[in-house]
Chain A
Amino acid sequence: MSYDALRRPLRPLARIIRAREQGENPDDIARENLRLRHEKMQKKARDRAESRLLVLGLAFVIAFGTIGARMGILANTDPEEPRAVASGNPIIGQRSDIVDRNGRILATNFDTHSLYAHPDDLIDPANAARELARIFPELEAEKLYADFTGSRKFLWVRRQISPEQMQAVHDIGDPGLLFGPREMRLYPNGPIAAHILGGASYGNEGVSSAEVIGVAGVERHFDEVLRDPANEGRPLALSLDLTVQAALEEVLAGGMTLMNAKGAAAIIMDIDTGEVMAMASLPDFDPNNRPRVLTEGDQSDSPLFNRALQGVYELGSVFKIFTVAQAMDLGLVNPDTMIDTTGPLRVGGFPIRDFRNYGPELSVTDVIVKSSNIGTGRIAMMIGADRQRDFLDSLGLLEPTPIEMTEGRTGQPLLPGNWRELSTITISYGHGISVSPLHLAAAYSSLLNGTRVTPTLLRQQGPVEQGPRIVSAPVADRARDMLAQVVSRGTASFARIEGYTIGGKTGTADKPREAGGGYYDDKVIATFAGMFPAEEPEYVIVVTLDEPVETSGPEPRRTAGWTAVPVAAEMVRRTAPLLGLRPQVELGSLDGVTLTGSRD
């Protein structure tokens, strides 16, 4: 309006004056102009409205069309049944199997059914609740009845039921009780390799399927791989050997009972590839029926606790071989160098003693064979704190193991806050540093191999890439020879068995008090770390017993030589044939024996 007004005044003076002169009413002119302006404006508004109404009409056609199309799409799809959790992710049914290195099944899927209810469709809720409580004793009829008569439209009754239970529910005959197919995770071997497999439970659940997700162990670590449809259900092959694992667990359980230990762990590892052939922790559990996580108290008391991996302990004298090997590699000593073992060795007012007095001096070999703390401490003083720490780091003892289990990360070694001379000496014989048995197994593999070995739970195909060098090959060989002598004439003499040669080192460490402030006198961690066959090691074995007491003698004996070593020896005797190692047997006389197929 304003610009129009500016352009042409309603009462143009010239016209007004002319009109006045002609005796006309000037208001007519103003009115005429006003009308013209109004008309012009109306026309403009109408033109604009015309195009905008067209746009509007088109928008409505499109919008109604969209709704119609959407109706068409919806009408063309199948109806859905209720689900407990509405989620955007489709549920993938098939979870890959887990097998051992020879393809034997460790974890697989099993078709089962879930039981759910549509309370609105129940004909006789009271009867249904009563009957269900009869079939499933863990359910309460009152609670079920309350759910059935409440406002709920859907509820799960049982997540998985057996065929017998399914038939019994069928026989109730209420149309409001429905079954949904689903798969459950089945561990056919029960508790064997329980800690490694972990367990599984349900994630997103629907009535037509349910998502199985791993909750611990490799099931959790490889959850995405196992669920990945791109794998087309190809099984996940672990490095474990089921037979070795079973034998190891059996021997370990027997040993734990015999030695009155409260817990035990054992590992057999391939020395070249780092493949874990068997690994067990006792007490264990059945992954088919995973116990609940402890909500109070010490998690390490739970059967879920994996001592081989999560348990970090001061493992004691088994560390001595690292000190000696490093000293030999640095050229500080050779196996025959005599070391001063007069005790006690005083460092910072702290006396270090040996289990027994071994005389004024011992050769380096004998320091290992007799397990002299003083001797090892003196060697460590030659090495120094920095080099010792670097060496242990190169063995992977300062970091959590990279093992393919979620629990692996929790196996964080405990290191001294201030790595000074005293720490250097105590660490040289395995005190003041806490690592897991798996750390130890990997470190022994690395040391005896000469190159860094990474522990793994996956079956390795073909030769494994060599890690960085730890010690030179001759040093590794000398270390191996010393470990063999520990068995043949030292603290691990119980490891002499028929058919196989074993080498290894014992370690008996007093358990630190939980409250802090020193160590228990009567609680030890007894460890044997070794390898077999001793001449050409193929496997490393670590056996750890928690608070063992051997009571066959007049006095209770707790040292590893009396507790862990016999268990380890039996373990090798049982598992070495399964691992394909030939026993070296001296054949007796063949008199009276006719060899079939032989030609004289």
Chain B
Amino acid sequence: MTEMVYGTAPVASGDPVLPRWWRTIDKWSMTCIFLLFGIGLMLGLAASPPLAARNGLEPFHYVIRQSIFGGAAIVAMLITSMMSPILVRRLAVLGFGIALASLALLPFFGTDFGKGATRWYSLGFASVQPSEFLKPGFVVAAAWFMAAGQEIGGPPGKTYSFVLTILIVALLALQPDFGQAALILFAWGVMYFVAGAPMTLLVTLAAGVVLAGTFAYNNSEHFARRIDGFLSADVDPTTQLGYATNAIREGGFFGVGVGEGQVKWSLPDAHTDFIIAVAAEEYGLICVLVIILLYATIVVRSLFRLIRERDTFIRLAGTGLACAFGVQAMINMGVAVRLLPAKGMTLPFVSYGGSSLIAGGITVGMLLAFTRSRPQGEIADVLGRGRGR
């Protein structure tokens, strides 16, 4: 099957692994990831003690767990980033198969932890959310299909990947987990876009969305009210969103001070979905802007490094991973500032959550592996010819 992929960089055997890794890795992005992890721990110190108190655990229970999982995540990231793209692809596709199977089996063996959606496997000491691991695997698999589809005589990869996407979206919607479903759909869309979606289709889609939106706004009072309510500055302050908005307002530019925040006491999801509100309240706008800047740096730097990438698979997989990562962060923060409708979505690397952390580590590890600088010259062509088919 590897014949379908061209242009992976040749590896001169004998070159020591670590020095080459250090030479070729995107050090800026990696630094940003370490900083995000640090910020996540710092915010966890503030956000999780109320939850620990509610659950009758010692105050820093969740912080300790977060550092353990975070350490594991960082190790996973480092190891993944040292792999070659082909190895990444093989492992990822393998992992994707496992994750897909466990996702499909969730309705039979999963638990919902009383939250109304069956998303987890309980392992006793910890729980695993397969959809978190599914995301990077899916991106790689879909990129692989698409790249194969661009080969001469290759399979209709775009169609295959689309079918796969629909299947996963359906599985996620059944849980229901519309946030992850939207994210999967978005990742596929981005890859399809970069892989060369026809311009007419894009224009038609955009026009269709605008037209349908306008039509719905003008003709459906319900829809219009939803949109107006969403756009208006008022929010019912007794909802999670209201608390989050108020927390951001309380925080102002420099925050109310470490440990002084109130919102973490009211919000059940202060340590996960609304961690940004805790950050905004205690550390102010400054901290939030730093977090945004870190995410933006990772995403934009990765995309710009991929611009020069010759290999279709790496380009697509890297784009998909970077965008899924960035958009997940964006949705999380967009909800808190009410730019987006409420969706439970963690802030990668910052929010508490074992699955989310480790899956995040693997995701950025893959991304780093794909964005490593490698020769982009004719050697691949030479190799490609050498293979024969």
Which residues does A use to contact B, with CB under 8 Å?
Answer: 1, 31, 34-35, 37-39, 41-42, 45-46, 48-50, 52-54, 56-57, 60-61, 63-64, 66-68, 70-72, 74-83, 86-88, 120, 153-154
Contacts A49-B196, A83-B236: A70 and B330 contacting too (C-beta < 8 A)? no
Nearest chain B CB to A355 CB, angstrom units: 62
A52 surroundings in chain B (CB, below 8 A): 193-194, 196
Tell me, yes or no, whether B86 is within 8 Å of chain A by CB: no
Contact present for B249 and A71 (CB under 8 Å): no
- Of B151, B337, B388, which one neighbours A31 at CB under 8 angstroms? B388
B235 surroundings in chain A (CB, below 8 A): 80, 86
A153 surroundings in chain B (CB, below 8 A): 238, 266
Among B238, B245, B319, max chain A CB count under 10 A is at: B238
Contact present for A60 and B296 (CB under 8 Å): yes
- Of A45, A70, A88, which one neighbours B234 at CB under 8 angstroms? A88
Contact present for A41 and B150 (CB under 8 Å): yes
Tell me, yes or no, whether B33 is within 8 Å of chain A by CB: no
Interface residues on B, range: 35 or more
Nearest chain A CB to B289 CB, angstrom units: 6
Contact present for A56 and B381 (CB under 8 Å): no
Contact present for A71 and B337 (CB under 8 Å): yes
A-B contact count (CB 8 A): 147
Tell me, yes or no, whether B384 is within 8 Å of chain A by CB: yes
Tell me, yes or no, whether B253 is within 8 Å of chain A by CB: yes
What are 30 residue pairs bridging A and B, where the CB atoms are less than 8 Å apart in the complex? A1-B152, A31-B389, A38-B384, A42-B150, A46-B310, A49-B196, A49-B315, A53-B194, A53-B307, A53-B319, A56-B193, A57-B304, A64-B292, A64-B296, A64-B330, A71-B248, A71-B333, A75-B252, A75-B285, A76-B252, A76-B253, A79-B246, A80-B245, A82-B236, A82-B242, A86-B229, A86-B234, A86-B236, A120-B266, A153-B238
Nearest-CB residue, chain B, relative to A88: B232
Contact present for A83 and B237 (CB under 8 Å): yes
Contact present for A75 and B251 (CB under 8 Å): yes
Contacts A35-B385, A49-B195, A86-B235: A67 and B330 contacting too (C-beta < 8 A)? yes
Chain B window 318-343, contacts with chain A (Cβ cutoff 8 Å), 1 for yes, 0 for no: 01000100100010011001110000
* Bound Cα distance from A286 to B253, whole angstroms: 52
* Bound Cα distance from A61 to B388, whole angstroms: 43
A34 surroundings in chain B (CB, below 8 A): 152, 389
* Bound Cα distance from A110 to B307, whole angstroms: 68
A76 surroundings in chain B (CB, below 8 A): 252-253
B266 surroundings in chain A (CB, below 8 A): 120, 153
Chain B window 241-281, contacts with chain A (Cβ cutoff 8 Å), 1 for yes, 0 for no: 01001101111110000000000011000000000000010
Contact present for A74 and B337 (CB under 8 Å): yes
Contacts A53-B319, A82-B238, A82-B242: A48 and B248 contacting too (C-beta < 8 A)? no
Nearest-CB residue, chain A, relative to B305: A53
Contact present for B381 and A35 (CB under 8 Å): yes
Contact present for A45 and B339 (CB under 8 Å): no
Contact present for A75 and B292 (CB under 8 Å): no
- Of B236, B242, B306, B312, which one neighbours A42 at CB under 8 angstroms? B312
A78 surroundings in chain B (CB, below 8 A): 249
Contacts A45-B312, A67-B337, A75-B248: A56 and B232 contacting too (C-beta < 8 A)? no
Nearest chain B CB to A86 CB, angstrom units: 4
A49 surroundings in chain B (CB, below 8 A): 194-196, 307, 312, 315
Secondary structure class of chain A's binding surface, majority of residues = helix
A75 surroundings in chain B (CB, below 8 A): 248-249, 251-253, 280, 284-285, 288
B193 surroundings in chain A (CB, below 8 A): 52, 56
Tell me, yes or no, whether B303 is within 8 Å of chain A by CB: yes
Contact present for B152 and A67 (CB under 8 Å): no
- Of B280, B295, B307, B310, which one neighbours A64 at CB under 8 angstroms? B295
* Bound Cα distance from A229 to B321, whole angstroms: 54
Nearest chain A CB to B345 CB, angstrom units: 14
Nearest-CB residue, chain B, relative to A154: B238
Nearest-CB residue, chain B, relative to A49: B194
Nearest chain B CB to A121 CB, angstrom units: 10
Nearest chain A CB to B145 CB, angstrom units: 15
Nearest chain A CB to B85 CB, angstrom units: 16
Given A67-B292, A76-B252, A153-B238, 12 more contacts at CB 8 Å?
A45-B150, A49-B194, A56-B303, A57-B300, A64-B296, A71-B248, A71-B292, A71-B337, A75-B253, A75-B285, A77-B233, A88-B234
* Bound Cα distance from A458 to B250, whole angstroms: 49
* Bound Cα distance from A35 to B190, whole angstroms: 28
* Bound Cα distance from A82 to B307, whole angstroms: 49
* Bound Cα distance from A64 to B298, whole angstroms: 12
- Of A39, A41, A68, which one neighbours B292 at CB under 8 angstroms? A68
Give B336-389 interface residues, CB cut-off 8 Å to A. Answer: 337-339, 381, 384-385, 388-389
Nearest chain A CB to B139 CB, angstrom units: 14
Contact present for B381 and A39 (CB under 8 Å): yes
Nearest chain B CB to A170 CB, angstrom units: 23
Tell me, yes or no, whether B299 is within 8 Å of chain A by CB: yes
A66 surroundings in chain B (CB, below 8 A): 339
Tell me, yes or no, whether B228 is within 8 Å of chain A by CB: yes
* Bound Cα distance from A83 to B237, whole angstroms: 7
B252 surroundings in chain A (CB, below 8 A): 75-76
A79 surroundings in chain B (CB, below 8 A): 246, 249-250
Nearest-CB residue, chain B, relative to A58: B300
Nearest chain B CB to A43 CB, angstrom units: 9
Contact present for A67 and B385 (CB under 8 Å): no
* Bound Cα distance from A64 to B237, whole angstroms: 25
Contact present for B251 and A50 (CB under 8 Å): no
A57 surroundings in chain B (CB, below 8 A): 299-300, 303-304
A82 surroundings in chain B (CB, below 8 A): 236-238, 242
* Bound Cα distance from A61 to B297, whole angstroms: 9
* Bound Cα distance from A383 to B257, whole angstroms: 91
* Bound Cα distance from A323 to B251, whole angstroms: 80
* Bound Cα distance from A63 to B233, whole angstroms: 20
A83 surroundings in chain B (CB, below 8 A): 236-237
* Bound Cα distance from A137 to B315, whole angstroms: 73
B237 surroundings in chain A (CB, below 8 A): 80-83
* Bound Cα distance from A64 to B228, whole angstroms: 23
Contact present for B381 and A63 (CB under 8 Å): no
Nearest chain B CB to A61 CB, angstrom units: 6
Contacts A38-B152, A79-B249, A79-B250: A71 and B288 contacting too (C-beta < 8 A)? yes
Contact present for B315 and A77 (CB under 8 Å): no
B326 surroundings in chain A (CB, below 8 A): 60, 64
Chain B window 160-176, contacts with chain A (Cβ cutoff 8 Å), 1 for yes, 0 for no: 00000000000000000
Nearest chain B CB to A284 CB, angstrom units: 40
* Bound Cα distance from A54 to B319, whole angstroms: 11
* Bound Cα distance from A68 to B296, whole angstroms: 11
A87 surroundings in chain B (CB, below 8 A): 234
* Bound Cα distance from A77 to B304, whole angstroms: 36
Q: Which 7 A-B pairs have the closest CB atoms?
A: A86-B236, A79-B249, A64-B296, A57-B303, A75-B285, A70-B337, A82-B237
A81 surroundings in chain B (CB, below 8 A): 237
Contact present for B296 and A45 (CB under 8 Å): no
